[in-house]
Amino acid sequence: MRVPMRVLMRVLMLMLMVALGSVGAVSLGAQGIRITGASTSRFVQLRPMLTDSVPESAASTTDGLDRLLQDGTLARCSGDGFCRYFRAAPPTQLMALMQDVDATAWGFGRGVSARAELRFREAFGGGRSLWPQAQQQLDVLAAYVDVDRERVRARLGRQWFGSELGFRNFDGVLVEAQPLAALVSVRVEAYAGRSLLQGLARDLTSDALATIEELPPDSRGILLGGALRWRPAGGLGAVRAQYEREIRQDRAGLYSERASAAATLRVGRARLSSEVVYDFAAGVFNEARLRARHPIGHGMDISAEGRHSAPFFPLWTIWGTFSPVGFDEGLVDTRWTSPGARLTVSGRGAYRRYQETDAGVASLPLRTDGWRLGGSVAARLSDAWLAQGGYGVDVGSTASRSDADVMLRWLRSERFSLAARAAAFETISEWRVGTGRVLGAGADVSIAIRPDLRFAADAMLYRQRTAGRTLEGPWNQRRATVRLEWSIGSDPGASARDGAR
């Protein structure tokens, strides 16, 4: 396989960065730099879908737009004498190469550091066009300067953080302060800047959004938000409240406006937690959750949860106009751990009820409830052998899924491990291809070559049983991943770093 010149140039650039980092870490004295990276190569076998057609006489039914073919495949007949359907195309392959680089530099002044997170991509094979990010060969996930003082901390540049409102990416400034640190443990947080696609670090008007949204926003978004955190004395719990507003850059419209509140509380041996997320623009609660966990002795604990959930869509997307409905759910799970933690057994069950959809027909009403059950077992067979297994089933309004997996791992030492895996799952849904069962088997290996160098690889082979519907596939697939994790430079310590919060 011939390697394009642009790939060689990126490799040379990366080697230069690593070399400069090594020199800098050694020669800067009070200053320093640490670079960590992950070099990943991933192989995936893909099977695209094609549009095909047959004469209307091939359909097993004779009226209506949607008809079934003789093998059970759903087709649409538009009145021109043909029925059209989707079928599996010949398999194709994708080789995806990714290089993640995370660099932190410090020593520019008291509490001043800088950080950059970069991701390089390249793809080969016939399935290159099926990878949405194959054309985006470089992403700057984060690039900011951090100033950390006794009571105030500020970050300026491209950054991201997670909260009850989800992951937020933006270009701007974030300030955290403890104005009354001597009296009460209260932290105030404020942030503002140009909003980016969540998880992608790209602008709202980028081509990446245009490929999936027919009507993407024509104006960049401006993000404004703040949060308040309080930890009472004695470690009894914590409270966090947050407000966030996103508007058009020209201030001519609103993209989103939401607020959240979360709290945890310890009462004796019990732990209570709650979370509320409210969407002011839609006037609905996206999330309302109350959870309680309590140990009941002899290595066993039990938890119960009540939850209301509804999808969130910003106002610039068309999906919110379809009035997606939410659900209410109750969940109970238990866990038992043997003395010495040699055996752990857990089980869970939940029941949910969906809100009224005002959809469907009288002869085929939509299901309004759902449930899920599952459990897992982890056993330490010896100091070198670990076995795990689990099973779960989830039945919803329009879909159901069941899956099982087992794993046997051999821990030769802290530096080497080898595992064999097996999996099976079945998905029944009008929005997925096929109703057959999928069986999978594979293995993974992990080797710590040095404290700053780790190699990992895994491979899986999947086989689908299509239940006689030949036009669906089979959707067999092979996957393999090779990953090399490395680091250069000394660790500046938690006070000089800013990891994912």
pLDDT, one tens digit per residue, over 435-450 is 678 899 999 999 999 9
Q: Give the strands of the sheet with 49-55, arranged side by side.
A: 49-55, 82-88, 74-77, 66-68
Q: What is the phi/psi pair of residue 57, to 5°?
A: -65, -15
Is the omega angle on the peptide bond into residue 132 within 30 degrees of 0, that is, cis?
no
Q: Which candidate, 366, 343, 371, 352, places its Cα nearest to that of 430?
A: 366
User: Which of 16-30, 40-54, 138-152, 251-265 shows the lowest mean pLDDT across its residues?
Assistant: 16-30
d(CA 30, CA 35): 17
Degrees to nearest 5, angle at CA 434 with 321 and 132: 55
d(CA 402, CA 424): 8
Q: For residue 236, how many C-alpha atoms fall within 13 Å in the half-sphere facing its CB? A: 7
Q: Which candidate, 462, 457, 444, places its Cα nearest to that of 485?
A: 457
Q: Average pLDDT for residues 290-313, to the nearest whole number? A: 94
d(CA 473, CA 313): 34
Degrees to nearest 5, angle at CA 402 with 400 and 407: 155
- Helix (H), strand (E) counts: the chain: 2, 26
pLDDT at 357 over 90: no
Check: CB of residue 161 under 8 Å from CB of residue 155.
no
Band (pLDDT 50/70/90 cuts) for residue 21 is very low
User: Which tokens is 106 given?
Assistant: 């410090």
- The terminus-to-terminus CA distance of the chain in angstroms comes to 41
Among all chains, which residue has been given the structure tokens 């106009």?
321
Check: CB of residue 372 under 8 Å from CB of residue 397.
no
What's the confidence (pLDDT) of residue 472?
A: 53
Burial 261-280 (b: 16+ CB within 10 A, else e): bbebeeeeeebebbbbbbbe
pTM above 0.85, yes or no: no
User: Which of 91-95, 162-166, 201-205 shows the lowest mean pLDDT across its residues?
Assistant: 201-205
d(CA 333, CA 292): 11
